[in-house]
């Protein structure tokens, strides 16, 4: 059975405290969870997420069987000289990218999420198809369900600066999509800020007449920002394209996503996928839940995050001057 469709507004988030165990059938309130986490770590004013009153909506102008579909990812191309980026790798700021890219889908790309704040406790990014749906989309093309997959896929940086995402990255992404004559785009984020970045990019693409659908795991972030279409997979961050090592779930998710391109009739349409996480059931409780940390762990997390910020700033500065 397909998940239900719903229309969401730019609403306030569920502000219940996270000291209690969340019910398994309720999505994680990532905005509130992250706000609590960083406040307990000792940081000041909470991050202000983007929120839009108006959301553009571009209907797909042709049947799916005649549409060319592009794939947007926040994953980075593998860089052998940049340290561990394999399954289960810790945060690796050296492998981040800061500029939009467009790379060919042939030969099959090697993109990694070792640099992204995915749920590393419950998932390892060991299956590229769980966060990069190229194989599933190509199967849809081979079956004639869509006409084709764009010959290039597109990388969108994870950028906390909403202005940079809106005024620089989204426009660069749009230019690549127009060069490749894509009719619609599937955007697949990984970490919380990734979800905001692809949501902002979707506004730019839709305003230019390119239909979009986001395959995402952070429902509250996507709906808070406001997007045309969301396929919500209630799975740990890093698995927005389906369950790892479960081809059937990945093919199913890809079909749900492209179906939403034609089934949605208005902006802010969310489809809830029926996929269920097959691993430990406490993943929703664990993610960035500072209430579960000791004082020593909080101090360690704070020190590590400060190191990560300093390293990222240095890498970004070098990228700008390189």
pLDDT in tens, 245-257: 999 999 999 999 9
User: What local confidence, expressed as pLDDT, does residue 150 receive?
Assistant: 98
On the question of pLDDT at 315 being above 70, the answer is no
Q: Other CB atoms closer than 10 Å to residue 311's CB: what's the count?
A: 15
d(CA 108, CA 9): 38
209: its two tokens: 């007449």
Q: How many residues does the chain have?
A: 322
Chain segment 170-226, per-residue pLDDT in tens: 999 999 999 999 999 999 999 999 999 999 999 999 999 999 999 999 999 999 999
On the question of pLDDT at 15 being above 50, the answer is no
User: What local confidence, expressed as pLDDT, does residue 318 receive?
Assistant: 64
Q: How confident is the model at residue 296 (pLDDT cuts 50, 70, 90)?
A: confident
- Segment among 45-59, 201-215, 307-321 with least mean pLDDT: 307-321
On the question of pLDDT at 282 being above 80, the answer is yes
Per the model's pLDDT, the better-predicted residue between 1 and 58 turns out to be 58
User: What local confidence, expressed as pLDDT, does residue 37 receive?
Assistant: 84
Q: What percent of the chain has pLDDT over 70?
A: 88
Among 103, 111, 147, 152, which Cα is nearest to 130's? 111
Phi, psi values for residue 43, rounded to 5° = -85, 160
User: What local confidence, expressed as pLDDT, does residue 258 receive?
Assistant: 98
User: What local confidence, expressed as pLDDT, does residue 14 receive?
Assistant: 32
User: What local confidence, expressed as pLDDT, does residue 93 receive?
Assistant: 73
């Amino acid at each position: 059975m397909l998940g239900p469709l719903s229309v969401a507004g730019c609403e306030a988030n569920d502000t219940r405290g996270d000291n209690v165990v969340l019910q398994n059938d309720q999505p994680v309130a990532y905005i509130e969870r992250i706000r609590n986490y960083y406040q307990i770590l000792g940081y000041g004013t909470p991050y202000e997420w983007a929120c839009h009153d108006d959301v553009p909506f571009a209907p797909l102008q042709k049947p799916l069987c005649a549409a060319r579909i592009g794939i947007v990812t926040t994953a980075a191309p593998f860089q052998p000289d940049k340290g561990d980026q394999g399954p289960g790798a810790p945060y690796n700021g050296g492998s981040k990218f800061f500029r939009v890219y467009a790379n060919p889908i042939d030969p099959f790309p090697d993109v990694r999420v070792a640099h992204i704040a995915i749920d590393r406790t419950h998932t390892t990014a060991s299956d590229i198809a769980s966060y990069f749906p190229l194989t599933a989309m190509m199967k849809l093309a081979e079956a004639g369900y869509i006409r084709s997959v764009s010959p290039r896929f597109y990388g969108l940086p994870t950028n906390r600066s909403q202005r940079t995402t809106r005024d620089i990255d989204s426009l660069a992404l749009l230019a690549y999509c127009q060069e490749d004559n894509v009719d619609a785009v599937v955007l697949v984020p990984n970490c919380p800020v990734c979800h905001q970045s692809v949501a902002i990019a979707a506004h730019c693409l839709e305003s230019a007449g390119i239909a979009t659908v986001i395959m995402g795991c952070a429902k509250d972030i996507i709906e808070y920002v406001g997007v045309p279409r969301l396929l919500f997979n209630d799975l740990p961050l890093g698995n927005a394209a389906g369950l790892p090592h479960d081809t059937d779930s990945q093919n199913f998710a890809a079909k749900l996503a492209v179906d939403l391109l034609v089934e949605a009739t208005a902006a802010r349409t969310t489809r809830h996928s029926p996929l269920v996480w097959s691993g430990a059931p406490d993943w929703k409780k664990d993610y960035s839940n500072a209430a579960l940390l000791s004082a020593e762990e909080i101090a360690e997390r704070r020190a590590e995050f400060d190191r990560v910020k300093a390293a990222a700033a240095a890498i970004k500065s070098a990228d700008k001057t390189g």
